[in-house]
Structure 1
Amino acid sequence: MDFSLLGPISVTTGSGELALGPAKRRSVLALLLLQPNTTVPLEQLIDSLWEDEPPEHARTVVQGHVSRLRATLAGGGAEAYGIELATHGSAYLLRLPEELIDAHRFGELVALARPEAAPRDAVPLLREALGLWRGPALTGTVTSPPFAAAAHALEEQRLTATEALARAHGALGEHEQAAAILYTAAVNNPLREGMVAELMRALFRTGRQSDAMEWFHRTRRLLDEDLGVGPGARLKQAYEEILRAEEAGNAVAAAATAPVADGPADASPGAARTGAGVPERPVDPRVPAQAGSAPGGHSGTPARTNGPPPVPHLLPRPPARFLGREQQLAALTAVPRSALPGESPLAVVTGPAGVGKTACAVQWAHTYAGAFPDGQLFADLRGFNEGAAAEPVEILRDFLLALGTPPERVPTSAQSASALFRSLVAGRRLLVVLDNAESSAQVRPLLPGGPHCATVVTSRSRLDGLVATDCARPVALQALGAAEGVALLGAMLGAERVADDPDAARELVALCDGLPLALRAAAAQLTARPRWRLARLAAALRDERRRLALLSAEDTGVAAALRMSVARLSADDARLLSALAASADGHLNASVAAALAGSDPQRIQDGLDRLTEMHLVDEESTDVYTISTLTQLFARDEGPADGRSES
């Protein structure tokens, strides 16, 4: 369970995001999260929720919101995480491990980073910290002074971390990257003199003296017009340093390229493109869009910016204890290499729920991130989560912001946003990973068009439409074999523990149908019970009535994953799956399936094709189908859900 303050207020579990309700309820949760494991008086909550005089029934309203929050958290499995929303007299206490709060993790990562003393270590720490942000802090709370102050404090920490990341890159001699990081932040915070001063130095060290000087004069004008003051000491010092360096024959620029203490500077991936496509003057964010803009105030072409474009690194962290899949990783590597001239390579990683599609795609993306120096984008399309799948315009907005588009220039329609996205990335070497896609239609607006861009999509559906219209290369994932499954258990539990009980380890792989998700859940059960031998869990899993429950870790497990797949079926197909669960050995053909379902074989054939496309059954050869044991158990236990759409 993860709590988010660095963006929209949210609570996420393995099954998706919890429904938190209206702004005041989210605000109550935010205030409790800002003071975790601390009693928060009811009066403080009331004062924070109502900017003006609170209503007479304010206490009752707050108590109602707390009660609903408590029920929502309980429904999300809060107790298993050690989370409790307790009442102490006229105060409330949210007791939880603080590492579940993104703002706490952000602060810890920033504290660990030492940009000057250990810049090479600081860069990944600070990038991970800044990657936790999903938008303006405390989005969705009420607009009262206490929340505005708290949001401002968090935003100040983000800017400080951004400056620290730029200093770390600068210490490594990576001045282009430092300038790119500072540029976007400085455009959005034009009166932050310290940041502008560091941007001036970074620009100067890349040989762009005129740009650096223009930033000084622009900021000086803004200070005079908006605040009626002149430049401060830090801004003037940076200006004077650049003037002296120019007069001394660019001595400062030469010194800036010297090796740093912790090793020689790595070459910046974008160094060969210094200054390409950069205008002579920085964009003034206060100037409105020019005449001829697209509807809604958005220009038909990307906004011109000073300095290199941002280089987003949005990939999730690499999967833990990732093993095997050499054939599929090689297939992904072959997709960009085999693309025809002018094509934008596209791969679709498909397979059943729990087979490890996301892990495979993310592992490959991290391995080959260096081949895409202009950035890596990632989005969860929520195709098989609870609730509605992500709208393309929502994902495009995130991508455009990550690529440096000012928020006011992001189009509101999916068509316009898609066109702007393709235009921005047309000449870049960029990787896009689209995880958990529901359909080809959801994916198409998110595809980059440039020949140097590559896209990897994961889905439980085969997405045949992308194969047909976009020449997508399918990369199918199957369940792990016995040896691979035992190796995964060894990686999770330790080789010695598995070696002590090799027969039980192989039986566990079989009982888990070779699914990595099920094997990881089994490993979690054994990790929590260090005295158990593997044979003890294998004996428990032989009981088919308990197997799915045991192959769950809190709210993550095979049953939860299958539930999301079945939820996307029509009522007829869900009933067919339930009928197939009665197969004695999981092997059948269309005639057997028709007999089990009591239906016409031709109609059943269409249903089997749809279930195969969703990887709920597997077509081994013509008219030979198999259904896994775990899918059978789930279909028997749950049956078709009531009220599912017939379409």
Structure 2
Amino acid sequence: MEFSLLGPIAVTTGSAELSLGPAKRRSVLALLLLQPNTTVPLEQLIDSLWEDEPPEHARTVVQGHVSRLRATLAEGGAEAYGIELATHGSAYLLRLPEELIDAHRFGELVALARPEAAPADAVPLLREALGLWRGPALTGTVTSPPFAAAAHALEERRLTAVEALGRAHGALGEHEQAAAVLYSAAVNHPLREGLIAGLMRALFHTGRQSDALEWFHRTRRLLNEELGVDPGERLRGAYEDILRAEAAGGARPAGGARGKDGTSGGTPSGRTSAGGGRTGASGDGRSATGSGARPVDGAKRAPVQGSADTDEAHGDAGAPGTDGTRQETAADGRGGSGSGRSGAPPRLLPRPPARFLGREDQLAALTTVLTDGTTGESPLAVVAGPAGVGKTACAVQWAHLYAGSFPDGQLFADLRGFGEGDEAPPAEILGDFLLALGTPPERVPSSAQAASALFRSLVAERRLLVVLDNARSSAQVRPLLPGGPHCATVVTSRSRLDGLVATDWARPVGIQTLGHEEGAALLGAMLGPDRVAEDPAAARELVDLCDGLPLALRAAAAQLTARPRWRLARLAAALRDERRRLALLSAEDTGIAAALRMSVARLSADDARLLSALATSADGHLNASLAAALAGYDPERTQDGLDRLTEMHLVDEEATDVYTISTLTQLFARDERGEGGESDTGGTGDGS
């Protein structure tokens, strides 16, 4: 059984297509497929199905459509495929293997394709992905804003894949194929500048420079007439590159001297970096559309606002994304043009954390790891711990204390592994690093693999500190590691990043929650010692209610700062109400609920359900057997899930088969399941 969203909404089993009925019924199915294995509230279905005010009998209509869909799926043999359309209170859940949905398979194929690093493999993967499309996404659904937005998002993903396929053909020197792939999409989307820029480059490489330039002028006119704006950096970059190439000797013939890494001459992406480097550090080789072309003045980066004791406090500090892409660059990185030594060393660290206290053991551990010059290797430390425990603050504090040990500069990047949007692609960060090190914009490679090699070669003989904040995975970090023995790297993450320990000999530095004394000292530093000394017992209780997390304690201090007449005991009394605690431990966009949401968002559906089940534990202490009983999972599946949750610091393993889940994590997981925990009960009966 297969489900189609990339075209008309359809369900096929074998060679037959199931009859789904009217548009609203197809729309109900589409909305459930857009959120597979997730409960979808009845109110959301109603809001999506009726653009205007829904009729009084809307609930009955939706319930009828769900009932008919359940019967249709059953007639098609859904049970044999592990498919179930379940009701959980006033919400519905379509449980199924996600690979049965064409949009999911499309996303997996696109993610596997690496058009710059492995173009020969990327071409068939991307062609297969695009072959899943049978027309405009979500055809046959109602014409309401939610469905229009969802269809637009899917179309954006398709166009991104088309651009990637064009880049892959170009990296192979197949410029005619690249032009053919990009042409029809460019005609249909004449204001999509990245698409036009790719087509211009492809046309130029086939010897059709006049056509390439005409596309630029046509798009410039459209942008001015319809939007009142000038061409963006990517479009201007393609135009300027073509003009420079013409001035240097005319158009390059089709299939001409273009490197396999997608750059125009220069160092191929597979070249080993000078000074040895980390030859295995090219990572997944993904390249962000729109990375590495805009000069960045490190001295002008905005300072970080707010507390540095939180993992989220630094936002985009240190390595903001760039919008322009130079697909055709000379990336040899040799000579004086890429050395960066003529200017001031980069100083990209955020400002030192405010009111930083304690953490002497962790700072000493970082000093031991990062200043060890006996191994002849570039030292690497991973600062890991739960959300809100102060990993970023500790790393940045150490970096400022020891900045003098790294006279050639300090680089900082937020990898956004646990942020609101997508994680930062290595190519984006490498582009910023290379620019900060003095590499001219036109010499920044477009592929992550080539940029990584150039970065390692530039810093091979320097004394440089690299701080990589908020990493999601080892694969995201590896392309960003310097290779020189005098460089040092510190990574922060909510995950242990065991892969870096295994392959790059990273040394872990764990960060724990604060005890009563340290927590009270932090409150005193923010509120004044006299206010805390008035009621030391209430201060101890506040530390307990905040689970000893600096982020939560800072939010609590913010509440008290805004209410100078409140005693600590009054806030403690308010926080005892578990229904209000997470809300009270928030300050605008900073709070423990927001931090935990980022961690849980990165979990698989199975692990998220396991965490929700663990949250029902009476005292937060349990073993694998109890966890299996709460979740309805078999022992092996439960143990694997507990291991992953422990790695993410959402659960602690205090001793062999003794696990704990913090009170704040329990409260958050319960809130995420909805009121009354109805979906927990419904989700445990069949072990999924």
Q: TM-score range by the shorter chain?
A: 0.5 to 0.7
- Find the partner of 1:352 among 375, 379, 386: 386
CA distance in 2 between partners of 1:540 and 1:597 (Å): 31
Change (3 A) 1:301 1:320: same
Matched, 1:394 2:404: no
- Find the partner of 2:413 among 379, 385, 391: 379
Q: SS of the residue aligned with 1:560?
A: helix
- Find the partner of 2:396 among 362, 372, 375: 362
CA distance in 2 between partners of 1:107 and 1:592 (Å): 50
**8 Å CA contact retained: 2:370, 2:489:** no
Counterpart in the other structure of 1:549: 583
Please give the TM-score of this superposition, normalised by the length of structure 2.
0.52
Change (3 A) 1:309 1:453: farther
Q: SS of the residue aligned with 1:436?
A: strand
Q: CA deviation at 1:23?
A: 14
Deviations 1:283-307 (A, max 9, x none): xxxxxxxxxxx98422153544696
The letter of the residue matching 1:388 is D
Matched, 1:297 2:330: yes
Give matches, 1:484-633, under 5 Å: 484-633=518-667
> Percent of aligned pairs with the same residue?
78
CA distance in 2 between partners of 1:345 and 1:550 (Å): 41
Change (3 A) 1:57 1:620: closer
**8 Å CA contact retained: 2:558, 2:587:** yes
The letter of the residue matching 1:301 is R
The letter of the residue matching 1:367 is L
Counterpart in the other structure of 2:168: none
Give matches, 1:32-111, under 5 Å: none
Counterpart in the other structure of 1:440: 474
The letter of the residue matching 1:469 is T
Counterpart in the other structure of 1:116: none
5+ residue gaps in structure 2?
A: 1-152, 157-188, 192-219, 229-296, 304-316, 681-687
Counterpart in the other structure of 1:407: 441
Q: SS of the residue aligned with 2:594?
A: helix
Q: SS of the residue aligned with 1:451?
A: coil
Counterpart in the other structure of 2:349: 315
Q: CA deviation at 1:342?
A: 1.6
Q: CA deviation at 1:133?
A: 9.8
CA distance in 1 between partners of 2:406 and 2:442 (Å): 28
CA distance in 2 between partners of 1:346 and 1:454 (Å): 6
Counterpart in the other structure of 1:195: none
Q: CA deviation at 1:619?
A: 0.5
Q: SS of the residue aligned with 2:471?
A: coil
CA distance in 2 between partners of 1:507 and 1:317 (Å): 31
Matched, 1:639 2:681: no
Counterpart in the other structure of 1:478: 512
Counterpart in the other structure of 1:175: none
**8 Å CA contact retained: 1:379, 1:395:** yes
The letter of the residue matching 1:550 is L
Change (3 A) 1:444 1:54: closer
CA distance in 2 between partners of 1:322 and 1:359 (Å): 7
CA distance in 2 between partners of 1:597 and 1:52 (Å): 56
Change (3 A) 1:555 1:338: same
Deviations 1:404-433 (A, max 9, x none): 000000000111100000000000000000
What is the aligned-residue RMSD (CA, Å)?
A: 3.5
Change (3 A) 1:54 1:313: closer
Q: CA deviation at 1:585?
A: 0.6
CA distance in 1 between partners of 2:589 and 2:470 (Å): 18
The letter of the residue matching 1:298 is A
**8 Å CA contact retained: 2:340, 2:438:** no
5+ residue gaps in structure 1?
A: 1-18, 25-49, 59-102, 110-130, 141-293
Q: CA deviation at 1:135?
A: 8.7
Q: SS of the residue aligned with 1:389?
A: coil
The letter of the residue matching 1:612 is T
CA distance in 1 between partners of 2:595 and 2:660 (Å): 19
**8 Å CA contact retained: 2:328, 2:446:** no
Counterpart in the other structure of 1:272: none
**8 Å CA contact retained: 2:379, 2:489:** yes
Counterpart in the other structure of 2:494: 460
Change (3 A) 1:107 1:580: closer
Q: CA deviation at 1:336?
A: 2.7
**8 Å CA contact retained: 1:301, 1:423:** no
**8 Å CA contact retained: 1:302, 1:423:** no
Change (3 A) 1:560 1:302: farther
CA distance in 1 between partners of 2:589 and 2:222 (Å): 41
CA distance in 2 between partners of 1:424 and 1:511 (Å): 49
CA distance in 2 between partners of 1:623 and 1:53 (Å): 62
